Amino acid sequence: MDNGSWHGYGLPSLDDKTNLGGFAGPTILFESVSESIALNLSDCFNKIKLIKNDKEVDLSLAKPTLTYYPGKLTQTYEFRDDFKLTLELIFVTDRTSLIKTQILNLNDESSKFKIYWEGSIFDSFVHNKKTYTINPSLDEIDNGIIVNFNGENQGLSENTKQNKFFTIYDKKVESKISDDKKSYITEIKDEVVIEKGVPYTIYRTESFVFNNEEFENEKSKINNIKNDPEKHFSSNELRWQSYIDKTLINNDVSKAYQNTAIKSIMTLIINWRSPAGDIKHSGITPSVSYRWFNGLWAWDSWKNAVAVAEFDSELAKDSIRTMFDYQIKSTDEERPQDEGAIIDAIYYQKESFNERNSKPPLAAWAVYNVYENDKDIEFVREMYPKLQAYHEWWYRNRDTDKNGIAEYGAMVHEAHYKYDENGNVIKDKNNNPVINEDAIIEAAAWESGMDNAIRFDKEGIEQGDVGVKVFENTGENGNVVGYSINQESVDLNAYLYAEKAFLKSLAEILGKKEDAIRYEKEAKEIADYVNKYMFDEETGFYYDLQINSTGDEKKLLVNRGKGTEGYIPLWAKMSPKNKAKKVVENIMDTEKFNLKVPFPTASKDNKFFDPNRYWRGPVWLDQALYGVEALENYGYKEEAKELAYKLFDNAEGVITSGVINENYNPITGEALHAKNFSWSAAAYYLLYKNTLSGGVNTSQKSISILK
């Protein structure tokens, strides 16, 4: 997938002799009733067939060569001293792929070829052992074939009835559709005579569009593409070469790590989705390989943007804008009290958005790092007031005791109430909805991004730990504006400290001196609090702080064990050097964080550590990136590089031919959960570019480390 496309292809298996001569798929991102889902329309929609001098050609006898280059799929079938068939596929728009088919005669004499293509489509898909009928049908169009989805679509949304997949050839062809409209044959009517050494070339496009308007627009673009198709192959190669040239800045780093950096680019671009439906700007989804991960999440988008900015600044900017397109305004009909907030996740259709919570505040970090790559001050000017509004929201809606230290929580939302057996909201004696604490705690954990982390276990652990409770936060008029859990989280406030530092930098770029002074002052107040109340001298680490509603009772949650949240103050540069030294000792301890794959989300000495269980032990690469940068920030350069190399060398498949996964077992290195995961790729890209190749890391630079 490329160029923000919503459909994509693979190479056929060498063992799959029936599908040689075609590209596997397409896989199409359809819209179900609740989210985007990746479905295969066909095993191989379009396979070339050749009859040479009245004899059918068996492509498997040619010992085919199938290759995925960055930005291009190729297949080569060479029959020694006879002829060579080459297929190349690229994406030329966000809706259209271009396939070049070339036959080169290697014989001493001219050869006659009958050229045709065949294909079929699936009628249904299976998920969780249940079959869903999508009922597509084939029809002939001028010089091509179209797939319509006009029938009964079980499990897909009504919108799919306007979806279309179609192919158009640049040569005059004729097609025959089967009676059931599920298969076809398309052929060049006349025999083709190819002279020795002269290539015969056919171009075709394959497009997936969401509606009739896109269909008409794409047909117009295809007419232009057909006028000079080679220009598009050249421009595609230049674009991808520019990605690589901007990345491979240090030839002293060995090839295996360079290849991982390129694989990271490919992973991010595969997950790039262009505007469609309710998505207004391009963005990068977590993973096209996992059906639940085809939306756009806030902190994912910002992490991805920081990496992508290194090789495509416009895509990086749009990846930030796409979440801010739905920044809540004071005029919002449903939740005006959340003015400034960025919601958790958006999808193709608004009905699927998650508006129950936000995500950790890393937006100013992303904007500043994007600016550092192209110095686009207009982008800073565009984003600055939006960043301010988002920053202020945290203190208005997530600071239950108004002490300038925030908590994770949840928004006012219908999912956070209790309901009776008839589906009606249960009300208290004052006619206010009765809240569902479990649902709010769930949303608060989502808001942290660390969904099932040990520190969010509802039940208390050991004496004095009252467990996770919910507070209602009210506005000036006394109305509930949101909910906080009874926990001032160290990572949240470290992120907010860093955001103030980045906002200071952005303010200075725009000449807003008073803002810059204010943000530095506020940052110092956070640092004083975190270092006073959230650091444990005995264990040498930072922890969340359990509080009551007024903030006058505090318990440092050392009993819940160490997690990656405890070194985020070093990434933010808010830890004094003496405290940071103790944190680094924990990071480098081979029985804590310095495991085979370092930076487990829970330290190995945490009694709840589980190396396979999502945020309770596996290594997430975003947290690992922040850990490496934390070491760099305090002068531990060699230690940072040592752990960075372990992240590359010991995570399964990363420097070999494997894909980049969502997370990894820290003890065995086993790849876990979703494949082709974007923010893991973003982290590996930044580790290569900055730590291994001598670049400058992404941490804030405007507020000095505390002495």
Question: Which of the residues are catalytic?
Answer: 451, 662
Phi, psi of 178 (to 5 degrees): -65, 160
Strand 111-120 relative to strand 124-127: parallel, antiparallel, unpaired?
A: unpaired
Distance CA 366, CA 696 (A): 15
Distance CA 613, CA 620 (A): 11
C-beta of residue 41 within 8 angstroms of C-beta of residue 310: no
Q: Which residue, 158, 139, 155, is CA-closest to 147? A: 139
Q: Which residue, 426, 429, 406, 428, is CA-closest to 417? A: 426
- Burial label for 653, CB within 10 Å (0-12, 13-18, 19+), is middle
CA 555 from centre of chain: 36
C-beta of residue 577 within 8 angstroms of C-beta of residue 707: yes
Distance CA 261, CA 257 (A): 6
- Annotate 588-611 with DSSP letters as a single string: H-TTTT-SSS--BSB-TTSTT--T
DSSP 55: E
| CA torsion through residues 284, 287, 288, 291, sign | negative
Q: What residue has token string 């992508």? A: 308
Within 346-408, residue ranges assigned H as helices are: 363-374, 377-397
Q: What residue has token string 């977590």? A: 286
Distance CA 253, CA 632 (A): 18
Within 425-480, residue ranges assigned H as helices are: 437-448
C-beta of residue 306 within 8 angstroms of C-beta of residue 365: yes
Distance CA 326, CA 301 (A): 14
Instruction: Say how many Å lie between the first and final Cα of the chain, rounded.
Output: 49
Distance CA 376, CA 398 (A): 32
Phi, psi of 145 (to 5 degrees): -130, 145
Q: Which residue, 134, 181, 139, is CA-closest to 157? A: 134
Which contiguous run of DSSP H or E holds residue 203? strand 199-209
Cross-strand pairs, 100:
88, 203
How many CB atoms sit inside 10 A of residue 672's CB?
Answer: 20
Distance CA 84, CA 106 (A): 7
CB proximity list for 409: less than 8 A, separation 6 or greater? 357, 397, 398, 440, 443, 444, 447, 470, 471, 473, 482, 483, 484, 485
CB proximity list for 524: less than 8 A, separation 6 or greater? none
- Annotate 238-294 with DSSP letters as a single string: HHHHHHHHHH---TTS-HHHHHHHHHHHHHHHHTEE-SBTTB-S-EE-S-TTSGGG-
Q: Which residue, 67, 74, 99, 97, is CA-closest to 5? A: 97
DSSP 427: B
Kindly compute the dihedral angle of the four CA atoms of residues 321, 323, 328, 333, in this order, to the nearest 10 degrees.
110
Distance CA 315, CA 414 (A): 35
Q: What residue has token string 């004094």? A: 576
Q: What residue has token string 């798929």? A: 25
